[in-house]
Structure 1
Amino acid sequence: MRPLVIGANGQIGRQLISQLPLSGHHCTAMVRSNDQFQQLEERGIAAVRASLSDSVEHLTKIMQGHDSVIFTAGSGAKTGADQTLLIDLDGAVKAMEASTQAGIEHFVMVSAIGAHRRERWNEALKAYYVAKHYADKELIRSGLNYTIVRPGRLSNEPASGKVLVASDICQEGSIARADVAAVICTVLGDKRFYAHSFDLLAGRDNIQQALEAIL
């Protein structure tokens, strides 16, 4: 696949642009600043400069030549609820609209564990969960081939290659960002995982086994 990684300068995004080529995917990193763009070019990584504040028409042009989109952008913990809604919700929906117009084959969304169930939302992060909940619902309604990955608390631990995958995981837990990226690399372009949404934590099964168990 040739994915466009939206949010490529984020912590999961940086893992993805390192891992995707190793999985046979020829990715393009979407970043906002000239400095980020130049750093990626120096590393030999294809990149484009664009922002989720750009128009749907511009995002559609950026997506030309790609067959998939990975949305791992986020406003960040230090921004207010307004930016969370603009990036995590409206930015995601704009990316979906552009993907539809660009004929994207597969849209992978990085969401948050429990985002699909209001009773599980963290009160301190309610705006974030609202954004993720409705972005995910809009993706399901969009008509795009989608996969929604809902990871638990994220860590910078080394990849373990061992995960727990299920449509609902009610326990607390964490997962390394490197393992989230590895899961995305595995499902990308695999039609068996189209129209699938799942929670994701560190676990005991290797990634392929854990994913195949939900099919």
Structure 2
Amino acid sequence: MNIVIAGGHGKIALRLARRLAGRGDTVTSLIRNPAHEGDVRDTGAAPAMCDLEAATAEEAAGHLGGADAVVFAAGAGPGSGAARKDTVDRAASVLLADAAESAGVRTFLQISSMGVDEPPRPERGEVWAAYVRAKKEAEDDLRLRDGLEWLILRPGRLTDDPGTGRVRLDAPYVGHSEVTRDDVAAVLVALLDEPRVRRRVLELVNGDTPVDAAVAALAAEPAAGSAR
């Protein structure tokens, strides 16, 4: 496969690129900082400079030619303010989805967040509320797109522990728990390989089911429709 990953220097993105490139897939990782090119190349992916906060959809589409799928793994990250939660976690996702449609790339996997269906607790503060709102609005935009075979993945609390290879992957709600970034990457690879699991919102935490079995179980379910 030919996969483009947005937010290519993120912790999940680097793990995903390494897994995909390691099995022989072609991977392009979109980054905005030239200093990150070496880290991306170390995974076996090709870095491409594209600042999704400044690019047009046409410019972004220029990086998607020939791709089989796009993975939106970008995020404003810790320490960013409320404004960048909107420009990255929402607007950049919308722009990349526009670019995918323009480039004729049908498959679009979006990494979102648990809790977006719940009102943010006031004690979490303004930045958290902006983050939750941005992720929710990005999801809502994607669900309305008939031109994309989209999939939304909401991981639980992320850790850098070694992957377990065992997860709980299902429609909301699976409960608030942890999941390793290694296991998120493994699930994304399995979901990219399974075209029957599309137009769904899935939540992911560590659990008892092997990754491939968890994805296969979802593929065996009746089609869920547009999940709008």
Q: Same fold (TM over 0.5)?
A: yes
Aligned residue for 2:96, secondary structure, equals: helix
Aligned residue for 1:159, secondary structure, equals: coil
Per mean C-alpha deviation after superposition, the further-off stretch among 97-106 and 205-214 is 205-214
- The 1:43–1:204 alpha-carbon spacing in structure 2 relative to 1, beyond 3 Å, is closer
Q: Is the 8 Å Cα contact of residues 30 and 48 (structure 1) preserved in structure 2? A: yes
Name the counterpart of 1:22: 22
- Superposed displacement of residue 36, structure 1: 1.4
Residue of structure 2 aligned with 1:145, choices 149, 158, 168: 149
Letter in 1 for 2:77: G
- Superposed displacement of residue 71, structure 1: 0.3
Q: Is the 8 Å Cα contact of residues 23 and 185 (structure 1) preserved in structure 2? A: no
Distance 2:168 2:100 in 1: 30
Distance 1:199 1:45 in 2: 27
CA-atom RMSD in angstroms: 1.6
Name the counterpart of 2:139: 136
Letter in 2 for 1:110: I
| Matched ranges for 1:1-215 at <5 A | 1-41=1-41, 44-53=44-53, 54-115=55-116, 117-119=117-119, 121-123=120-122, 124=124, 125-143=128-146, 144-214=148-218, 215=221
- Taking structure 2 as the reference length, the TM-score comes to 0.88
Distance 1:122 1:93 in 2: 26
Distance 1:196 1:147 in 2: 5
Greater RCO structure (CA 8 Å; 6+ sep): 1
1:170-213 Cα deviation digits (max 9, x unpaired): 52201000100000000114211111211100001101222233
1:18-58 Cα deviation digits (max 9, x unpaired): 11123443211111122212443466531211111211110
1:152-183 Cα deviation digits (max 9, x unpaired): 00000001000001211252201000100000
- Taking structure 1 as the reference length, the TM-score comes to 0.93
User: Identity across aligned pairs (percent)?
Assistant: 27
Aligned residue for 2:86, secondary structure, equals: helix
Q: Is the 8 Å Cα contact of residues 122 and 129 (structure 1) preserved in structure 2? A: no
Aligned residue for 1:63, secondary structure, equals: coil
Distance 1:180 1:57 in 2: 30
1:102-148 Cα deviation digits (max 9, x unpaired): 00121000001232x224x4542211111111101111112210111
- Superposed displacement of residue 90, structure 1: 0.5
Distance 2:87 2:213 in 1: 37
Distance 1:41 1:76 in 2: 22
- The 1:178–1:30 alpha-carbon spacing in structure 2 relative to 1, beyond 3 Å, is same
Give ranges in structure 1 of 5+ residues lacking alignment.
none
Letter in 2 for 1:139: L
Per mean C-alpha deviation after superposition, the further-off stretch among 166-175 and 129-138 is 166-175
Q: Is the 8 Å Cα contact of residues 6 and 71 (structure 2) preserved in structure 1? A: yes
Distance 1:213 1:6 in 2: 28
